[in-house]
Amino acid sequence: METKQFERGPDLPPPITEVGVIGWLRRNLFSSWMNTILTVITAYLIWLMIPPLIDWALLDADWNGSSREDCTSDGACWVFVSVRFNQFMYGFYPEAQQWRIDLIYGTLFLLMIPLFLKTFPWKTWLGGFIIFVYPFIAYGFLDGSWFGLEVIETTKWGGLSLTLILAGIGCVAALPLGVVLALGRRATNMPIVKSICVVFIEFWRGVPLITVLFMSSVMLPLFLPEGVTFDKLARALIGITLFQSAYMAEVIRGGLQAIPKGQYEAADALGLGYWKKTGLIILPQALKIVIPGVVNTFIALIKDTTLVLIIGLFELLGMIQNALNDPNWLGFSTEGYAFTALVFWIICFSLSRYSMHIERKLHTGHKR
Amino acid sequence: MSDQPSDAMTPGKPAPWNDPKIRAIVFQALLVGAVVMVGFYLINNTLYNMEQRGISTGFSFLEKESGFGVTQSLIEFDETHSYGRTFIVGLLNTILVSVLGIFFATLLGFVMGVARLSRNWLVARVATAYIEIFRNIPLLLQIFFWYFAVGINFPRPKQSYAIGETLFLNNRGLFMPRPVAEDGFGLVIAALVIAIVGVFFMVRWAHRRQDATGQPFHTVWASIGLILGLPAVAFLAAGSPLTWDMPELRGFNFKGGMSVLPELFALTLALTVYTGTFIAETVRAGIQSVSHGQTEAARALGLREAPMLQLIIIPQAMRVIIPPLTSQYLNLTKNSSLAAAIGYPDLVAVFAGTTLNQTGQAVEIIAMTMAVYLTLSLSISMLMNWYNAKMALRER
């Protein structure tokens, strides 16, 4: 009798509808009736919006020129932005002195580079210098009075550089205040200190920034003794700092709460006093955890600095509003806002990505 | 040499300056002293400065005639009313825009948050793009965009965008028909109230019956039927006591009907789009926080898609969503103060703006304005805390 040997045939390829492009489309776009309808509607909406937008912003746009007569096509008139680009960056800062702003930001950039190098040994000192010393040098240098340079009043500062000054100094000044408030809020053995900190934090968190700015511009001069005056920028900075410190305190409090109790107990067991325990054990760990949170409040602050235009400071959006009122350039508000939106978006989006990156980096070993 | 431990070894009482309790008391006393002194110093300066500038203190200015008009007011207001009334007008306008913003932002946020998790690739990408674009652009810029770049470029009233001759959109705002109640409309409202009370008792009865017998009852459909049906019957029985006041083009603008100012339109739109992104992220985080095992367990019990969402996923997700959602509502309310930048007559624009400029009573007015926002903030967060406590996980 002949026996038949079973022979395994070659594997059939998977059905064409399950793999490759078609399979992907079926899985992700047309998996059910409902999904197919959704896909079609969404695709139609995108088709309605995106091509005209690209035509307007890129293909039909005018890029070169010096006046509105150069804008002949239907698309965007980026000439409006390019003509005033200098003002949007530097405000009314005299053109001959703008190298000072460039120098300040360039130096800051160079100083920041070592912080991102893994092997750089003096990170703490450099970071401390950037946070606690550099802002004063920058302020004095831009103002000019400390270095024997031409004095340029803060009313002439403006544009993107002012936006970054407001956000940067506001954030840096709020940090130590926030640490103190957060520690105070957690001082359970000192109920009065705790309640003062709670009231302070909840007060600033409960009111909108615009009323804070109104307060610092209208009421602050009334609070001070006769003869003592701050200029508008300093008043805005005081308001922003107080406001920001409350948010900062809450972020830092979150970090303090995340430190396990064992760390406190271990510090106590070593016989460390309160300040040593806080300064050497708790804060270094807590501040590391809260970096993403601090970056997030910084992003919020950058967006909030636009409000200072209401009290008459010309940061980036204020400069745009100012330029839009120029009778030679009426009617280009869409271009102006689109440019500003792009600038803010790039800054905020990249910072938020950076914050997520740090969060992932710091998360090693804690993930469940 | 003795075996007695020396004094240094016993954990006796520390010296007074080393005792944490005494230190705490001294430290707090110093802090209170400092706060009181700073406060006294500031108040002293303020009183002196105000006297120098001839500003009277106190709240008597609130009774004076204001002498300015407001473009939108929910209560009767004109030049002859007092400054105190400008406060109420501004407050009501703030509440109006906050409520509108919260309503629409919640809708948009929930839709986009769910869409971002959709299995449909295109929908998920569109939702992600919306969230990433609009939350990284300052709110004030968005308000300006909708107002100065879009709203002002709408056509003039004569060339309005019209939807079926009832809705008109132009550069003066959005115009729509206004319902006018006639005699007998009270009956419809009474029917609505009865229906709502009825639904309340029906839900309780249905719960009890289900607990006792295990038989479910279609409360949702019954409630919808009751709430829509009863007033409809009353409406027909009373002889349709409702007419519509239609907006009509007269001269250069529309008369009659209900109108939404372009400022309110732009502000609501911007607040909705901006806050919607944050709510969407909150919703996404909430849904993702419900572990996959819950879905699998629900499937294993044989629940279909809808009851699974309703009974298993949403209740657990809401627990995570509500606290951050509250803070978004608070943010929206506070952000509505940006109205001042485009001239929508909210509390900050009317009261802390015009009234402040006319009277110069900076301290009183700013204090009242801040007090309003603090009260709104605290009451919303109390309401939400109550709800949160109700929804919280009851661990045994």
Q: Do B121 and A208 touch (CB under 8 A)?
A: no
Q: Do A337 and B149 touch (CB under 8 A)?
A: yes
Low-confidence ranges of chain A (pLDDT < 70): 1, 364-368
B362: which chain A residues are within 8 Å (Cβ-Cβ)?
218-219, 222
Tokens 């004094």 locate to B7
Same domain, A199 and A274: yes
Please state the pTM of the whole predicted model.
Answer: 0.86
Tokens 């309401």 locate to B383
Rounded to a whole number, what is the distance in Å from the CA of B220 to chain A's nearest CA?
24
Please tell me if residue B66 touches chain A, with a CB cutoff of 8 Å.
Answer: no
Q: What is the CATH number of the domain that holds A336?
A: 1.10.3720.10
Residue A367: per-residue pLDDT: 45
Q: Domain end: A128, A151, A174, which one?
A: A151
Number of domains in chain A: 2
Residue B83: per-residue pLDDT: 86
For B328-347, what is the mean pLDDT?
90
Residue A342: per-residue pLDDT: 95
Residue of A nearest to B39 (CA): A223
A340: which chain B residues are within 8 Å (Cβ-Cβ)?
141
Structural domain boundaries enclosing A142 = 95-151
Same domain, A158 and A273: yes
Tens-place pLDDT, residues B66-123: 778 777 777 777 777 888 888 888 999 999 999 999 999 999 999 999 899 888 899 9
Residue B141: per-residue pLDDT: 95
Alpha-carbon distances of A213 from A4, A321, B346, rounded to whole Å: 92, 19, 17
Residue B2: per-residue pLDDT: 47
CATH fold for domain B83-140+264-391: MetI-like fold (1.10.3720)
In a domain, A245, yes or no: yes
Q: Do A214 and B334 touch (CB under 8 A)?
A: no
**B174 forms bridges with which residues in the sheet?**
B169, B260
Tens-place pLDDT, residues B189-235: 888 899 999 989 988 998 888 888 888 777 778 888 888 888 888 88
A302: which chain B residues are within 8 Å (Cβ-Cβ)?
138
Residue B283: per-residue pLDDT: 93
**In degrees, to the nearest 5, what angle opens at C-alpha B31 toward C-alphas B30 and B37?**
90
Tens-place pLDDT, residues A165-216: 999 999 999 999 999 999 999 888 888 999 999 889 989 988 999 999 988 8
Tokens of A43: 């695709």
Nearest CA to A101 among A154, A30, A177, A170?
A154
A181: which chain B residues are within 8 Å (Cβ-Cβ)?
none
Same domain, A256 and A300: yes
Instruction: Kindly provide the b/e burial profile for residues B18-33, where b requires at least 16 CB atoms within 10 angstroms of the residue's own CB.
Output: eeeeebbeeebeebee
For B54-70, what is the mean pLDDT?
78
Residue A74: per-residue pLDDT: 80
Same domain, A202 and A118: no
Please name the member of B133, B136, B356 whose beta carbon is closest to the beta carbon of A352.
B136
Same domain, A282 and A346: yes
Question: What is the DSSP code (8-state) at residue B338?
Answer: G
Residue A368: per-residue pLDDT: 42
Please tell me if residue B30 touches chain A, with a CB cutoff of 8 Å.
Answer: no
In a domain, A1, yes or no: no
State the sign of the Cα–Cα–Cα–Cα dihedral B196, B201, B202, B207: positive
In a domain, A112, yes or no: yes
Rounded to a whole number, what is the distance in Å from the CA of A35 to chain B's nearest CA?
6
* Selection from A356-360, B4-8, B143-147 with the highest mean pLDDT: B143-147
Q: Do A222 and B363 touch (CB under 8 A)?
A: yes
Same domain, A191 and A167: yes
Residue B1: per-residue pLDDT: 44
* Cα A160 versus chain centre, distance: 13
- ipTM rounded to 2 decimals: 0.89
Is the pLDDT reported for residue B285 higher than 60?
yes
Same domain, A137 and A172: no
In a domain, A73, yes or no: no
Tens-place pLDDT, residues B149-166: 887 777 787 777 877 777
Please name the member of A45, A299, A340 whose beta carbon is closest to the beta carbon of B141.
A340
For the beta carbon of residue B368, count every other beta carbon within 10 angstroms.
18
Residue A305: per-residue pLDDT: 93
In a domain, A66, yes or no: no
Same domain, A131 and A164: no
For the beta carbon of residue A277, count every other beta carbon within 10 angstroms.
18
Rounded to a whole number, what is the distance in Å from the CA of A349 to chain B's nearest CA?
6
Same domain, A134 and A169: no
Q: Domain end: A108, A127, A151, which one?
A: A151
Tokens of B264: 């309110």
Q: Give the pairing type, strands B258-260 and B173-176.
A: antiparallel
Residue B392 pLDDT class (50, 70, 90 cuts)? low
Q: Do A189 and B123 touch (CB under 8 A)?
A: no
Please tell me if residue B32 touches chain A, with a CB cutoff of 8 Å.
Answer: yes
Q: What is the number of CB-based contacts under 8 A between chain A and chain B?
A: 150
- Calculate helix-pair angle for B314-335, B362-391, nearest 10 degrees: 180
For B51-66, what is the mean pLDDT?
79
Q: Domain end: A151, A168, A188, which one?
A: A151
Same domain, A123 and A181: no
The residue extents of the domains of chain B are: 83-140+264-391, 178-245
Mutate to test the interface with A, among B36, B57, B120 (most CBs of A within 10 A): B120
Mutate to test the interface with A, among B18, B25, B134, B370 (most CBs of A within 10 A): B370
Tens-place pLDDT, residues B223-272: 888 888 888 888 888 777 777 777 777 777 777 777 788 889 899 999 99
* Cα A284 versus chain centre, distance: 23
For B303-307, what is the mean pLDDT?
82
Rounded to a whole number, what is the distance in Å from the CA of B337 to chain A's nearest CA?
7
Residue of A nearest to B330 (CA): A206
Same domain, A161 and A146: no
Residue of B nearest to A318 (CA): B141
In a domain, A331, yes or no: yes
Same domain, A192 and A107: no
A193: which chain B residues are within 8 Å (Cβ-Cβ)?
27-28, 31
Q: Do A333 and B373 touch (CB under 8 A)?
A: no
Give me the residues of B, 121-160, that contact A with CB < 8 A: 121-123, 126, 132-133, 136-141, 144-145, 148-149, 152
> What residue type is assigned to position B16 of the chain?
P
